[in-house]
Amino acid sequence: MKVLVIGSGGREHAIVRAALASPRVEKVFCAPGNGGIAQEAECVPIGAMEFEKLVSFAKEENIGLTIVGMDDPLVEGIVDIFEREHLRVFGPRKNAAILEGSKAFSKDLMKKYHIPTAAYESFTDAKEALAYLEQAEFPIVLKADGLALGKGVLICNNLQEAKAGVKTIMEDKQFGSAGNCMVVEEYMIGREVSVLSFVDGKTIRTMASAQDHKRAGDGDQGPNTGGMGTFSPSPFYTDEVDAFCQEHIYQPTVDAMAAEGREFKGIIFFGLMLTEHGPKVLEYNARFGDPEAQVVLPRMKSDMIEVMEACIDGRLAEIELEFEDNAAVCVVLASDGYPVSYEKGFEIQGLERFQEARGYECFHAGTKLTQEGKILTNGGRVLGVTAKGADLKEARANAYKAAEWVKFENKYMRHDIGKAIDEA
């Protein structure tokens, strides 16, 4: 079978590799892909939002399965368009991708179906939001309703910051139309865990847990980013936490979507906060996490393609997911200055070290392959260096060792990815 992966980041590189590992796959294409993906799959210069071109390409190449990695095309309905053309595609339809596409929708869903989450109010009027905030307790969290590259969340410590936040989101529209509606949410304290899952509309199978590091700097300082590194599993995600979430969060979410006539097939990513009152949902995403995928997929023993096909066909109940009994850590190598401003176009050296090293992977995020075969930096997040180990400590030591194999001008990384595991 030929597979088409849509997207261009480290997540898509991890998906491409997992697809190539399936005995059922003869060739993988990626649109638009990046410099690293181009060395393993055939990259096609079609953007993730160019639905008509993607459909034509899938027909011409006789693609047996298209996997959508990114949120934007899902929220805009790419799956509906592929299905209408009788093309097999993995991901939620537009009416289900709203689980990620609208925070107001997902909060209302959780409230209606008693799924634990932070208390909240939604506003479409800035004046009403301000009146509410005058009475609120701080800190408090403001969230732009729509997609905002993970940046539409503001944690405000006092009324002054909250007023500035309302201006940023609702008046200045810094996150564009994502800020037409705003959710004001109770601030939760606890450890964050990401749990990704496969869903076939009825059945849900969760993958190994992971933890992201969203802030740019060591010690969780600096601005929010797409994610600077991950580890899997999370030692804080105990069997007891898992049992609670399976019963009160995961299956109820799938059932709620079905009850609303929004059957969800694809990946649900649960962003959880483990609070002193139990696990609560921070957010839902309708796709793999990036860089969560770079630690979770390398640990998965099950054939990803088989699992995805079972989701499409509603046969997931027949499948048990299997993961390696080890740990993985991913350190993101970024361009210095990310996420604010940074230079790109620098040559990357040392990548060949990964070809021979078992248990080490280098996923490309923002890279470009030149005609001479050089790899250049081409984005904020450049590479994700993943290493496995018998346990998290070993995996972390390996990941930081491998992070030194790679050299490029402007290379920046956090040095404390996985440090939290010392407290476990």
Interface residues with ligand AMP (CB under 6 A)? 118, 141, 143, 150, 153, 155, 185-188, 192, 214, 271, 282-283
- DSSP assignment of 105-158, as one string? HHHHHHHHTT--B--EEEES-HHHHHHHHHT--SSEEEEESS--TT--EEEESS
HSE of 68, CA atoms in CB hemisphere, 13 A = 36
| Between 249 and 375, CB nearer to ligand GLY | 249
How many angstroms separate the CA atoms of 278 and 111, rounded? 16
Find the shortest distance in angstroms from Cβ 335 to ligand AMP: 22
Q: Is 212 an interacting residue with respect to ligand GLY (CB under 6 A)?
A: yes
Give CA separation, 265 vs 61, 91, 242, 278, in Å. Answer: 24, 6, 21, 27
- What whole-number distance in Å separates Cα of residue 152 and Cα of residue 118? 17
Nearer Cβ to ligand GLY, position 64 or 101?
101
**Cα–Cα dist 314/201, whole Å:** 7
Look at residue 296 and give its three-state secondary structure: helix
Q: Which of 145, 290, 309, 361 binds ligand GLY (CB under 6 A)?
A: 290
- Which partner in ligand AMP, ligand GLY, none is near 107 (CB below 5 to 8 A by kind)? none
CB 236 to ligand AMP: min, Å: 14
- 290 binds, options ligand AMP, ligand GLY, none, Cβ within 5 to 8 A by partner type: ligand GLY
Q: Does 100 bind ligand GLY (CB under 6 A)?
A: no
Q: CB atoms < 10 A from the CB of 321, how many?
A: 16
Contacts of 358 (CB under 8 A, 6+ apart): none
Binding residue for ligand GLY, selected from 35, 101, 150, 418, defined by CB under 6 A: 150
Q: Which tokens sit at 294?
A: 């770079």
Please answer whether residues 375 and 367 qualify as being in contact, where contact means their C-beta atoms are separated by less than 8 angstroms. yes
Give 7 or 201: the residue with its C-beta nearer to ligand GLY.
Answer: 7
Residue 32 interacts with, from ligand AMP, ligand GLY, none (CB under 5-8 Å by kind): none
Using the minimum distance from each CB to ligand GLY, give the nearer residue, 133 or 295: 295
Q: Could you say which of ligand GLY, ligand AMP, none residue 292 binds, taking C-beta under 5 to 8 angstroms by partner kind?
A: ligand GLY
Least distance (Å) between residue 150 CB and ligand AMP: 5
Would you put residue 85 in left (φ > 0), alpha (ψ -120 to 50) or beta? alpha
185 binds, among ligand AMP, ligand GLY, none (CB under 5 to 8 A by kind): ligand AMP
Q: Is 146 in the site for ligand GLY (CB under 6 A)?
A: no
What is the contact surface with ligand GLY in residues (CB under 6 A)? 150, 212, 227, 285, 289-290, 292
